[in-house]
Amino acid sequence: MAHNRADDIIIQKVSGVVDTTITDKVAVEEPLQIELAYSSATGLMHKVVAVTMRTPGHDPELAAGFLFTEGIIQAKDIAHIDQGRDDNRILVSLHENIVPVLANAARNFYSTSSCGICGKASIDAIHSVSAYTHVQDDLRIEAAVLYSLPDILRAHQNVFEDTGGIHASGLFTPAGELIILREDVGRHNALDKLIGHAVLYGHFPLSHCILLLSGRVSFELVQKAAMAGIRCIAAVGAPSSLAVDMAKDNGISLVGFLRENRFNIYAGGERIVVKD
C-alpha cells in the first residue's frame, strides 16, 4: 500500500525584507486507530486500544510495536494484521485463546505524536515487564563506532531530507552497520515501527544491537527499548532524569549528546570502549 509521507504546500519564505512564495514539503501527520480482535469466553471481542498521530507508512509495524512495547501483547501473539481500505484504521487479530493485557491500556487514550504516555490509567501501567531482562550479553562498543552513527542515520533519513521535521530511530550492529531505520513525526512512533519490525519478523531479543535516536531520550523510549531487550541506546539529544534511572534499572548503556566526536555516558559505561 503506497503512502504519502510528505506533502507539497505553498509557503511565504521571508529573509530580511524579501518575501518569496515557494513550494515546500512538510511531513504528513494523520491519525491511526489501532484495534484488537481476540477470543474470550463470550466470543470474539473487538477493542479500540489507541489513536495515535503518525506519519503514514509501516503501519502494521507501528501497531505491532505499540501493542508489544506497551505490554499489551507478546511478540508471538499476533495472528494477522489487516488495514483494508481505510488507511487510518488497522486491526490486529490475536491467535485463539490469547488474551491481551488490557490493564496496560485500561481506557482508550489519545496518544499525540509528541507524548506517547498521555492518558495512562496509572503509573503502574508504565512499568511494563520485559521478557528479556535476564538475557546475558557481551556487547562492547567502540567510541569510534558511536561517532560514526549520526552521519549514517542522517544519510538514510529520506523524509527528513525532504521536510526537516521528522524523527528517526535506527538499529545498528556493534560494528556500526545500519540494520533498519524508521521515521515518523512522533519519536515514540518511529521506535515502535522499528521494534514492530522485530515483532513481525521474529528478531528478538535485540541485545546485540545499538539503538540510535535522532533527538532527546524520554523515559518511555527507554522503556520501549527495554521491552525489546536492547542493551545500548545512543541519542543525539539529552536524556531526562527518569530515562537515566530507567536505563540503570534495566542494565542499559545510555549515551547522550552524541555529536561532533563527543558524547556523554549516563549509564552502563562498561560497554563503551573509549580507549584502545
The answer on pLDDT for 265 being more than 70 is yes
What's the domain count of the chain? 2
Q: Is residue 17 part of a domain?
A: no
Residues of the domain holding 268: 141-273
Average pLDDT over residues 148-153: 95
Pair 119, 145 in one domain: no
Average pLDDT over residues 82-94: 92
Closest CA to 60 of 257, 199, 157, 260: 199
Give the per-residue pLDDT at 96.
92
The answer on pLDDT for 7 being more than 80 is no
**pLDDT tens, 174-232?**
999 999 999 999 999 999 999 999 999 988 889 999 999 999 999 999 999 999 999 99
Q: Is residue 12 part of a domain?
A: no
Pair 115, 150 in one domain: no
Active-site annotation, residues: 115
Closest CA to 253 of 261, 262, 244: 244
Pair 177, 246 in one domain: yes
Higher model confidence: residue 108 or residue 29? 29
Higher model confidence: residue 60 or residue 87? 60
Closest CA to 255 of 178, 171, 121, 271: 271
Rg of the chain over all Cα atoms, to the nearest angstrom: 19
Q: Is the pTM of this model over 0.85?
A: yes
